[in-house]
Every structure is written in C-alpha cells, then in structure tokens.
Structure 1
Amino acid sequence: MSERSPAPGGLELIQSLVNTLDLESGGDSLDTAEVRARFGLAEGDVAGARELRESLRVTLLAHAGHPPHREVTPLGALLGESPLVVAVDAADGSATLAPADEGPLRSRVAAAIARALVEGTWIRLKACEAADCHWAYYDRSPAGRGRWCSMQVCGARAKMRRYRAK
C-alpha cells in the first residue's frame, strides 16, 4: 500500500475505489457500511462496484505496461451505458462532462475519466507492478514511468528479489 498523495481531481474517486481491496491481506472495505456510504452504494450495488473496481484495476495495470491480473469485463463495456452531459458554468462559461445522474458510481467514474482525459492526467493513474499489491497510485514521476505504489515497500521488495536471484 502506498503512502503517495491522492490522485488529482476526480481521479481520487477511481483511486479510492480500486484501493478498497487489499490484495495482500484479502480485506475488502466494500464489505463495510461506512465505505459503501462514501461511494453512495447500497448493499445490492456491491457486486457491480467490485466488477467496476477490477476492470479499472486492469486498465490501470495497462497504463503501467503490465498484463491483466485476471479476466474482467472490459471497462469500456461497463461505462458504455453511463450517460454524460455537458455542464456549462453560467459564471465563467467553462464546460465539463458530468454524469447525467449523480447517483450511479459508474456514471461518476465515467465523468472522472472524461475530465482526466481533457486534463491529460488519466494515463498517469496506474496500478502497482507487484502481483500481491496492484494498489492504484498517481504517477508523479517526471518521465511518467513509475512502476510501484511505493519505492520503500513494493519497489524495495522487487529489487531485493532481483538481487537475491543473482
């Protein structure tokens, strides 16, 4: 798990959702009422949120150049039916894509991705290379080539494994 700072803007929603599952311990915070409430989920929405979470994780692994950790429903298929509308600010005339309905998590995720695409930040949201981690993190490295959520934990473990293998 990373001690990195949260992703900017709406990407924090996606980062938080992906990080509701700790692969190392198996703990899933979507099992708690408090976390479900934070995402606006009813108990019946959890299965869909888990499916969305793992599709996002596979996409974030791809951002970092890693293969999928398992077979999932493609993210585009999940978000394809999430209607977005153009919202125009009357004060300054700025426009953004926003969910047509604020409730569904998929629509909020789709809007966050759309905003990140415009801002050029979407590709920097990645998942850690470590197979027992895959924690979502925002890559702030100058070249955008970060591989681990934390150099002190996952990066150090990978380097130690390579060293011992020699």
Structure 2
Amino acid sequence: MSLVLDFLNTRDVEAGTDVLRGERDWEAWAAARGLTADPLPEAVRAREALRAATGDREADGDTAPAVHISVRASPSVDGVVFEAYTAVAAVYAAAARLTALGEWGRVKICPADDCRWAFHDRSRNRSRTWCSMRVCGNRQKARAFRQRSTPSTTHMEQSCG
C-alpha cells in the first residue's frame, strides 16, 4: 500500500512540489526505494492513470503506459509473486496486489482542492472522505458551518422588509 500511496503523492498540491517535475527528483525517488526510474513522461502518465483509477476527478487516465511484470509461483509465499524491474512496474504490481486483495477501493484522493492527497481508507465501512479529519475534514466542516451560520442577503431583506 505504501509504495502506491507514495507514488500517488509524488505531487503535493499544498506544498507546491512535484517529484515528477524533473528527472533528478524522479530518479532520486526511485533510487530511495531500490528501484530503477522509468522515463519521466511514462511515470507522469502512470501517476495520472492510477489517480484516475482511484476516482480522482482531475486526473487524466487515458494515457496509461503499459508495463512489463513477471509473475512466478513461489512456495515460500504460498502463491505467486510479481517481479517488477522498474519503478512504474513495481507500483503497478503493488496496485495489482491491492486489487486482487479487494483493497484498491480503499485508496482514495482527498477532495479538498488545496490538498488532493492520496490516502488509505481504513474505516470499517469504507466511508472515509478526507485524508485527515484534523486538517482537511475540519477545514471543510468549518467552512460549511460558516456558510450555514451567515444569513444570506435575500433572507435578511425579507426579514427586514
């Protein structure tokens, strides 16, 4: 799960950073995880496709790159293992595992326009909306409360009328 989330969060809207903005940052990200960096445009397309697959309304999922992943039987893990040789392939393999385990639906994107962070919904009924109730959820609740608490001009005119 963490590799997929780390990859989806290579762009941080709040901080204004994007690991996939330059080759060096992307190569460093991949190397820090013991992976070989794919060409940068492929990585960008993969991130967009995976974000679109989570339901991110702002992502472009039409340009998903194809990757090569080997699958082999392994008695030591009681099943099969994916072998990926590049960073994007490793992320796709991790996403495939999540899908096979029925966990892909728990990968979500925070709806806050100033956040857009990918997170793992650990709630029992898979209903979590915000990446963090303490930050984004609280901010949205406060905004909604202010909107409900502020009398509209039309209502004020009718009352004073």
Q: TM-score, normalised by structure 1?
A: 0.74
For residue 4 of structure 1, what is the aligned residue in structure 2? none
**Paired residues, number:** 143
Shift of 1:82: 2.4
Q: Is residue 24 from structure 1 mapped to residue 23 from structure 2 by the alignment?
A: no
Match of 2:109 in 1: 127
8 Å Cα contact 1:57-1:134 kept in structure 2: no
| Matching of residue 107 in structure 1 with residue 89 in structure 2 | yes
Deviation at 1:105, TM superposition (A): 2.6
Query: What displacement does 1:160 show?
Result: 0.9
Write the deviation string for residues 20-45 of structure 1: whole angstroms up to 9, x where unpaired. Answer: 11112211234425324235354x72
Larger % of strand: which? 2
Task: Give how far 1:48 is off.
Answer: 1.9
Query: Matched residues, percent identical?
Result: 31
Counterpart for residue 90 of structure 1: 75
Q: How far off is 1:90 after superposition?
A: 3.2
TM-score by length of 2: 0.76
What do the CA deviations read for 1:85-120 (whole angstroms, capped 9, x no partner)?
43211346x222514xx3223322222122112212
Contact between 2:50 and 2:61, CA under 8 Å: does it hold in 1? no
Give 1:161's aligned amino acid: R
- Once superposed, what is the RMSD of the aligned Cα atoms? 2.3
State the one-letter code of the partner of 2:140. A
1:46 aligns with 2:30: no
Task: Map 1:114-153; keep pairs closer than 5 Å.
Answer: 114-153=96-135
Change (3 A) 1:98 1:91: closer
AA at the equivalent of 2:42: G
Give the unaligned 5+ runs of structure 2. 149-161
Query: For the residues of structure 1 that align with 2:80 and 2:128, how far apart are their CA atoms?
Result: 29
Q: Which runs of 5 or more residues in structure 1 are unaligned?
A: 1-10
Q: Distance in 2 between matches of 1:106 and 1:49?
A: 6
Q: Which protein, 1 or 2, shows the higher relative CO under an 8 Å CA cutoff with sep ≥ 6? A: 1
The residue number in structure 1 matching 2:57 is 68
